[in-house]
A and B are shown apart, each in its own frame.
Chain A
């Protein structure tokens, strides 16, 4: 009962904050931070947590004395998992509420829907989720992983483990399709025969995995070691893993490595039959560093529930928020142009014991960790990249994007510079 009361209190507080943020015109008094995460609809399951972590970071910063001598104020809106509404709400945040920066979006389609708004109104968006790359925008800072910071190292790890046959299974939308295209090209480059790659797409929220799991088992019983690379989206994962467990697929025989399954997704699952399946991220809650310990403790205190887990996109917001704070301090103003320029090169501690730096392509440097699912719903790191990996916005493994680079420092100031033709705008973003 107690926790419910706290939750209700929290909600009213958020509501009050929203009303205050939208209603008053005290723009000079506080620095406003927009939070654009779905609190209802299908994506609420993932995005609500990110809203909470932003409120926590803002509260912490205020307790430290705010920013530039002013207090920060969160403005929360609910785009309700509705992609066009993301654009409307972004516009509302920037022009009506007058926020100086926005932290938000989860799905690629929601990001694509707000891009023109941020460009037109010249504001700043921090995007915290791993995505398919093939994009670099002046007003957007990508704190999640690009494919080379997640997918490619994961495949490298499995290759070193002796995997020869690959199932690329994903939900049918842009992120899995692009990631699988990159992975397929990468695998073919590394001498994998085309008949040793099986690609499979399923609709959103797919819940009957019997046929596909049996196809995977059949594909994996040719005597060659087989692995599944899963870009299956959040909701469909629980039935997928339940079916794997039911079919008796043992991680020691056919491991599944997932790019969208983190601590939060596992919270809905009995993980005992899944021990040994893998996930590739840039952060795990189980990482043992003092920064992470402090972060988890603050989070539990803030949310009032010691059972709540932390995950990779939360760390991305942690990094992004601290980068923005540092850039504002460096620029001495919240003016978007000054902050955008100041952000490149900013370096802040991440939660895995290193520093993350904002690169000129508006992506950050991160370590890549491979974790194995444990029976307590956590991951144990079994492998990590020796150093930090720089986010590569235009994949080198796709012929159409290989010659492109992004550099938002003068004089280049271009998100898709073609190094072959020497012109900006070498390819349009799909």
Chain B
């Protein structure tokens, strides 16, 4: 089959050179129609034939195939592009000319199915076909696709493209792609070694995967590849350590967010609040509700959904926090065991209430465009979502510090927690301050929920998975000290991430717990112990 096709293509290519565009169009049509006849291997062969024909008029059809919009019209087996206009009703356009072909019902057309192999072939074909596109971004994507394929048959095409290229970034990728193609071709060794050096200079993970198989070959080429590989792996190792620090910071920021509310309710007020995790969950569900309303009412606002959800989550969780303090906790001050039981019961009630109202299944919270994807910084891969969460965690921490240190509410709060009687004697309404402080802690937990909804399940169990970690951070950092929470969260995050590659995720977590137990034995009050009379009170 493949042989027949390539013979057919060879004929086509020779025909293409001299004949008028009308004839070229019919040939392209035959090539595209071939995509609709047969299974995955036939589609792959068909795509290869299109690549070899090299006619950029095939781009819309191949793109549509990749997006799942390419169909076969059952009446005449013609391949068409179909877009669903209404339920079950499709608008058809010609795959070659782009002319409208009217409408068709779902039963009249059949979608061309894809699998990963076909997707790879589509990427290769599109890369080869769009290498000379007018748009530099398209060319860059195309060059990257060709780089990934590294097909030696593309060398002439790349040579032409490189000769025309003006954009330096695109040119660099094209040169790399050419080098990869040369390494895999049967060109002379000198040329190959030169190419290997070019790839090694570029470095990175791609270089490892390209040079890895070549390093095993006997002879000068293999030796050059092994030497280059050793160099790259050395720098890779350095970057890997940096990457680990980044992962640790990112995990630390998540821990900080989850714990910072608890640092107030437990750390500052001394209330053992087992329902803290549920405040985080309520914040996440607030995000879900906000996104749901935006989706149905104002889809253009979607990128702003988190900005809208943050204050709302603070208000919702904060209000619930105040209600909990007024309704339950104020009767239990000074009775830690009863508080523990009451708040634990409350956490179960809140979980089941959410489960009953929203259902037990995960809720979909989308990532706005600025929260998705990642970028490369040297050898580091940095995900936007993680980066913004670190920024957000630090911003929340800074805001809280300012509130505690520089406002009169903060002053009263500190006064009440340090010496309740004296504060009361000075005319501070201590019950009101208690309620507000608890509300503040809960509200911050709610804001943390907005951030966590971006990386974790939004389900009734969300809070449970963070409650233990939160207590761990607060106790490790030192109860009653916000700086301790900050340092504790990042220390635990980084320690966890450095242990994980060696000990595995399960053992790593256990090791961290053991280390904390040992640490608490040595310093029962945590990293930053409070000093002074408040401790003894």
Residues of A within 8 A of B (CB): 4, 7-8, 11, 39-40, 42, 44-45, 48-49, 161-162, 172, 200-203, 205-208, 210-212, 214-215, 217-218, 220-224, 235, 238-239, 242-243, 245-248, 251-253, 255, 264-265, 267-270, 273, 276, 372, 374-375, 380, 382
Contact = CB atoms under 8 A, between A and B. Distances in A.
Contacts of B40: 382
Contact of B361 (A222, A251, A268, A372): A268
Contacts of B506: 172, 201-203
A181 B390 CA distance: 39
A8 B358 CA distance: 11
Contacts of A207: 254, 455-456, 465
A210 B459 contact: no
Contacts of B361: 45, 48-49, 264, 267-268
A210 B254 CA distance: 13
Secondary structure call for the B interface? helix
16 contacts: A45-B360, A200-B505, A201-B504, A202-B505, A205-B465, A207-B455, A208-B254, A211-B244, A211-B501, A221-B205, A239-B455, A242-B367, A252-B116, A252-B120, A273-B372, A276-B119
A-B pairs with the 8 shortest C-beta distances? Answer: A268-B362, A221-B209, A246-B383, A44-B360, A223-B213, A252-B119, A202-B505, A210-B247
Contacts of B68: 374-375
Nearest to B215: A223
B139 interface: no
Contacts of B454: 242
Nearest to A221: B209
Nearest to B501: A211
B362 A210 contact: no
Contacts of A276: 114-116, 119
B460 to A, nearest CB: 7
A239 B457 contact: yes
B461 A270 contact: no
Contact of B374 (A248, A264, A382): A248
Contacts of B113: 380, 382
Contacts of B464: 42
A242 B384 CA distance: 12
Nearest to A239: B456
Interface in B92-117: 113-117
Nearest to B67: A375
Given A206-B505, A210-B386, A218-B205, A268 B458 contact: yes
B254 A200 contact: no
Interface in B486-537: 496-497, 500-501, 504-506, 509
Contact of A7 (B119, B205, B359, B497): B359
Contacts of A270: 364, 366-367
Interface of B: 40, 68, 113-117, 119-120, 123, 148, 205-206, 208-210, 212-213, 243-244, 247, 250-251, 254, 351-352, 355-357, 359-364, 366-367, 372-374, 381, 383-386, 454-461, 464-465, 496-497, 500-501, 504-506, 509
Contacts of A267: 361-362, 364
Given A205-B461, A235-B457, 10 more contacts: A44-B355, A161-B115, A214-B381, A223-B210, A246-B373, A251-B116, A251-B119, A267-B364, A268-B362, A382-B113
A280 to B, nearest CB: 14
Contacts of B254: 207-208
A207 B457 CA distance: 9
A222 B362 contact: no
A203 B366 contact: no
Contact of A40 (B114, B210, B352): B352
Contact of A215 (B205, B352, B501): B501
A255 B116 contact: yes
Contacts of A251: 116, 119
Contacts of A40: 351-352, 355
A251 B118 CA distance: 11
B359 A235 contact: no
Contacts of A247: 374, 381, 383
B359 to A, nearest CB: 7
A245 B250 CA distance: 17
B455 A242 contact: yes
A161 B117 contact: yes
Contact of B357 (A4, A223, A245): A4
Contact of B504 (A200, A208, A242, A372): A200
A346 B367 CA distance: 48
A338 to B, nearest CB: 37
B247 A211 contact: yes
Contacts of A222: 208-209, 212-213
